[in-house]
Every structure is written in C-alpha cells, then in structure tokens.
Structure 1
Amino acid sequence: MALAALVPGALLGWVVYEAVGGGGSDHAASAASASGASAAPSSHSSPSTDSAAPPGSGGASAGDGKDTAGGSGPLAGKVVVIDPGHNQGNFEHATEINQQVDIGTNRKECDTTGTSTDAGYTEARFTLDVAHRLRALLEKQGATVKMTRDGDSPAWGPCVDQRARFGNTARADAAISIHADGAAQGDRGFHVILPGSVHAGAADTRKIVGPSRDLGTRIAGDFLRDTGEPPSNYVGKGTGLVTRTDLGGLNLSTVPKVFIECGNMRDSKDSALLTSGAWRQKAAQGMSDGIVSFLRES
C-alpha cells in the first residue's frame, strides 16, 4: 500500500486484519519466541542516544494512585494511562513473571522480559523512555497522566492483568501500552494492536472495541505521519492495524485501549531508529497527536 495513502483520514476506512496469536508474550512477539535470540540484557553498552526523560516529565510512581499535573489545556479533565511494556527488573524475577494469571480467555504468564536490539538496548528501557516523552506532551495539553510503572517502581511487572486493572481503576479516557517487537531481520515497521470482541470469564471487551478501534486508527495515522516509519510488512497486511483476542492487557480492559509495536528491534533499519532519542521523540509525538485527536472528539 502506498504510504501517501495512509493519512489519518484514509486510516479511518482501513480494513482491520484479524491476527489472533498464541504467543507467550502479552504483545505481538518477543525476541526469544520470534527470532530465537536471547532476550537477556547484553554486556554491550546502551546507545548514547538513550537520553533521559524530557524536562517536566516527572510524575507519580506506578500504582501509587497519584495524578500527574493536569492543566488547563484542551485535555483538561481527561485521564490518560500510559503502560510502558515489560520492566528491566523482569530479567531478575523469572519466577514472579512466569506465574500464570487469568486473562479471560485462558491463563498466561504474568509478564515477559521483552526483546532487545542486537546491541543490548532493551525493550523495557525503550518503552519507559517513550512513555516519559509521551507523558510530557500530554500534560502540556492539560491531561492527567498515570503510568503503570515508572523508574524502578515496581521492581518487576506489573502482571498483565494488573496493567489492565490500573487503567480501569483510573477510569482512563484512553490507555496505550507501548512496545517494540522482536521479529526476524527484514521484518520491519509499526503496527497498532486493537482489542477483539471477547466475552469470556473476567473479560468483556464488547463496549470498548469500537472506541478502541477509533483510538488506534488515529494513533496509527499520526504515528506514520510524524515518524515516517512504515506500517508493518509482516503482520496487518500493510494496514498497520491488527486485532487480537489473546492479550490480557486488552482483554481485561474496560476503557478504550490499544497496544503499539513501534518497530522491530531485531531489524537493523528499525533498531537504528528505535535507539535514536530524536526518533523516540517523534514516536511520542505521533502517539500524542492520535490520543489528543481521539479525546477531543470523544
């Protein structure tokens, strides 16, 4: 599909590709399962472009129930939950993250370590950095922002069911879980994961499927525009959108929520972008633009 056609307006008419997987990770893929590579931290030094969070992005620790500063901008009164995927501490807490939790349709691991670039820049670090940047942008728009984890808190996890409940308890107007994929070299591009219709056990997504699709479509369009990253060439049939019913973070959500896989950390072209602080700022901007668009019209 021609990139010029994938503008936000056209995205609203995309046909969503149903891709219900059964992987162990609570997102599209992990490095260990998708590429056979180890997901353990590398001894290589992390890229110098892994800059600190932008000024003014400080806020509440994960799960402490405190709001970050909501202002008087266009999103005043709106609550956004940001869920940075995985946790750097998961590498040292294998027993805890391997415990099974109920995701409605079945039971699944509490969490996984996530993937990393070949040079050892972990998904957990990437997602937290982008989350900080996104938080700062949303706060400038007046939103109250909460994060499921921040800094070293909690030490591992949270489990995928806890991440979903965090957004539910916060009564979020929108929630986004940030990830990066771990597929094979040559597989590249972003995709936004939408919740499918699930009504089983503790899961009932029927009320959020529509608004979540709207949220995800807007984020996909703005992410493409702001970053120039193409839609995934290995899932989603070029649309940049995938629907799944095997993810606890989506199945158990009662608020509009999507996942975004920002790129493939195991692909050399994508990893060059993901390890760039300047590009991560563009990624945060794309997410912010999509969330702002959704909230201003919801």
Structure 2
Amino acid sequence: MRNDDSPPPPESGSSVNPDRPWFTRRSTLVVGVAALAPAALAGWVLTQAFAGSGSDGVRSAPQPASHSALSPGQRDAKPGSTPSESASTSPSASTSSPAAAPAPAPAKGPLTGKTVVVDPGHNVGNFNHTDEIDQQVDIGTARKECDTTGTTTNAGYKEADFTLDVSRRLRTALEAQGAKVVLTHQADRPWGPCITERARIGNEAKADAVVSVHADGVSAGNRGFHVILPAKVKGGAADTAKIVAPSRELGERIAGNFARTTGSAPANYLGSGTGLVVRDDLGGLNLSTQPKVFIECGNMRDAKDAAQLTSPEWRQKAAQGIADGIVGFLGG
C-alpha cells in the first residue's frame, strides 16, 4: 500500500512530469542542499584546523592515531612524549633539529693568554722499566740517568701517584684562572719521559712558567717543603743565564703561598728555613729556557709529612698554594 505523500515510481520508458508539485518542491530542496555542501565542508575543515586551541589558549588533546599510521620515530617514542619529542628521535628529524649548544668559552682570568707547563715528577711505570730509565742522558754540565722511580711512603704510596694527583689538581686551578696548561705526561706512557724531554716540552710550549712537582724521600724527622731554583750554569745545551732571576721570583711566590695555604713549614733540613734551595745538577732545570722551579712538597719518609701527602684534602691545598704562587708571578 503506497503512502499518498510518497512519489510514485516512474513508468519504464516514460519521462517525469515536470508539472507535478511534489517533485518541484523536492528538486528545489536537493539543489539547495547541493549548493550548501561545499560551504559546509569548508567550514568543517576550518573548524578542525582551529580546534587545537580554545579561547583560553589551552590545547585540546589530540586523538590517538593508529600504530600503523605513526612514523617510526613516533612509534618508538616513550609514553607521554609529545609529537615534537617523538619526531626528534626519528632519523629524518635530525636534519631539522637545532644545532648543539656551543662549548663553553675558556675561563677568563689573570692568566688569560698565559701558558703553564706542569711536570708530574717520575712515572709509576718507571718501577717496571728500570733499564730504560737508567740510560744516561746529557744535561749540559754532566750526564745523568734518564729518570728515576721516585720514592714512596713507608706504607707504599708512590711519589709518582702523589705528583700526578697534585698536578691534575693544579691544572684545574690554573685553568680556572684562564691559563693554558700542558702536562708533560699523565702516566699514559709505560715510563718516563726522560728529564731531557721534560725540559723540551716546556721550551717548545714557550711556557711562561714551568713547575715540576715532587716529594722528598729523606730520613724521618726531616720535615717540610722546599722549592728548588736553577743555578747559573752554562755548558753544552745548558744555559740558564736568562731564567735564573725570573725563576727565583717564581719560586719565592710559590713558597710563600704554599706555606700559607697548606700550613706546612719550610724544610728543617736544608735551605736555612727559607724553603728555597739552588741546584746545578738537575737536567730539568739546566736545560730549561723558560722560568722553571721544582717543588718538594714534603718528606714521604716522615710519618707526619706522609699523613699530609696521602690526604686528598691536603693535596688540594698543595695544588692551590702552587697555583696562587703562579698567579702572583704571572698575573702581578
């Protein structure tokens, strides 16, 4: 049974009568809807484009995407990461990621533009290479062994371990003041270097100051530190005439600051209580063309001095005292 309001189906092969009222109304409606469809679609697109932000500026949560529709970087992202975070993990995102932050600029300070060479006395490997370090080298005024093992505390703490630790702390302190610091070695070689090479490193660096770090090994009861200065010597490759005066000033600065910072007294067994000793038999000094001193920070064979030398806190003070002396010498 057909409802009176529904249009009758057209007969096969016949044309639709344009005068029928119900068709006219329906045709007008269809045309109108067709005309409105593109506008509605455009409006929907605009609505979706702006749906990410509400009037209060809070972004609405995105709809979850299917796993297969995500990029490899998004699929591998950690839970809770944002799309931008996920994209940064994908290989393709690396081309558009921001450049890495530049390395921090070197510290500026009173030693800016200055070069300091720090020479950690001996090398722990020397104990296993006695044949190599016993070879004789020319120090200008004589011939001496290439290097020695250095001493130890009665408990076996090696001078070479002490000197390297203090030297690294000293480097840090000097770099904080703006200096360029060169270490003659960092126990990164089996033995040595020879005393001739140690001197050459300072010369080739055109160092403004060179300090060789040591600890003494004399009998118990002999306590305190001393700084060794170059004597005026000339012979062979040795000629210290130009460095004697500035080396003494460097040594005096270090001695004063070392005593004040560490609380250690000048040696009671040489130097007449001044903490300063002049020697002409050390190749590291004889062959240097740059201001240079040695510092013997204490006596490893004395129990009281050894207690200080084996203390990390005291070694930090020792490094700071030496650094302060160098700053006083080079920084005015």
- The TM-score normalised by the length of structure 2 is 0.68
Residue 234 (structure 1) aligns with: 269
Q: Is the 8 A contact 1:226 1:285 kept in 2?
A: yes
Question: Is 1:296–2:331 an aligned residue pair?
Answer: yes
136, 147, 156: which is aligned to 1:120? 156
Separation in 2 of the partners of 1:70 and 1:112?
36
Separation in 2 of the partners of 1:202 and 1:286?
32
Separation in 1 of the partners of 2:327 and 2:223?
27
User: Which structure's residues are more often helix, by fraction?
Assistant: 2
Amino acid at match of 1:229: S
Question: Is 1:221–2:256 an aligned residue pair?
Answer: yes
Residue 147 (structure 1) aligns with: 183
After superposition, the C-alpha distances for 1:60-91 in whole angstroms (9 at most, x for unaligned) are xxxxxxxxx85322211100000000000000
Residue 310 (structure 2) aligns with: 275
Separation in 2 of the partners of 1:98 and 1:70?
40
Amino acid at match of 1:231: P
Question: Is 1:168–2:213 an aligned residue pair?
Answer: no
Q: Which runs of 5+ in 1 are unaligned?
A: 1-68
Separation in 1 of the partners of 2:313 and 2:331?
27
After superposition, the C-alpha distances for 1:143-180 in whole angstroms (9 at most, x for unaligned) are 00000011x32210000010000000000000000000
Structure with the greater relative contact order (CA < 8 A, sep ≥ 6): 1 or 2? 1
Question: Is 1:263–2:298 an aligned residue pair?
Answer: yes
Identity %: 68
Q: Is the 8 A contact 1:70 1:145 kept in 2?
A: no
Separation in 2 of the partners of 1:208 and 1:77?
20
Separation in 1 of the partners of 2:269 and 2:233?
25
Q: Is the 8 A contact 1:227 1:283 kept in 2?
A: yes
Separation in 2 of the partners of 1:203 and 1:74?
31
Separation in 1 of the partners of 2:269 and 2:236?
31
Residue 179 (structure 1) aligns with: 214
Question: What secondary structure is seen at the aligned counterpart in 1 of 2:223?
Answer: coil
Q: Is the 8 A contact 1:70 1:144 kept in 2?
A: no
Separation in 2 of the partners of 1:265 and 1:133?
19
Question: Is 1:201–2:236 an aligned residue pair?
Answer: yes
**How many residues align structurally?**
228
Amino acid at match of 1:115: T
Question: What secondary structure is seen at the aligned counterpart in 2 of 1:81?
Answer: strand
Question: What secondary structure is seen at the aligned counterpart in 1 of 2:261?
Answer: helix
Separation in 2 of the partners of 1:95 and 1:81?
27
- The TM-score normalised by the length of structure 1 is 0.76
- Taking only aligned residues, the RMSD between alpha carbons, in angstroms, comes to 0.9
Amino acid at match of 1:162: E
C-alpha change, 1:70 and 1:257, in structure 2 (3 Å) is farther
Q: Residues 1-298 of structure 1 correspond to what in structure 2 (within 5 A)?
A: 70-150=106-186, 152-297=187-332
Q: Which runs of 5+ in 2 are unaligned?
A: 1-104
Separation in 2 of the partners of 1:292 and 1:273?
24
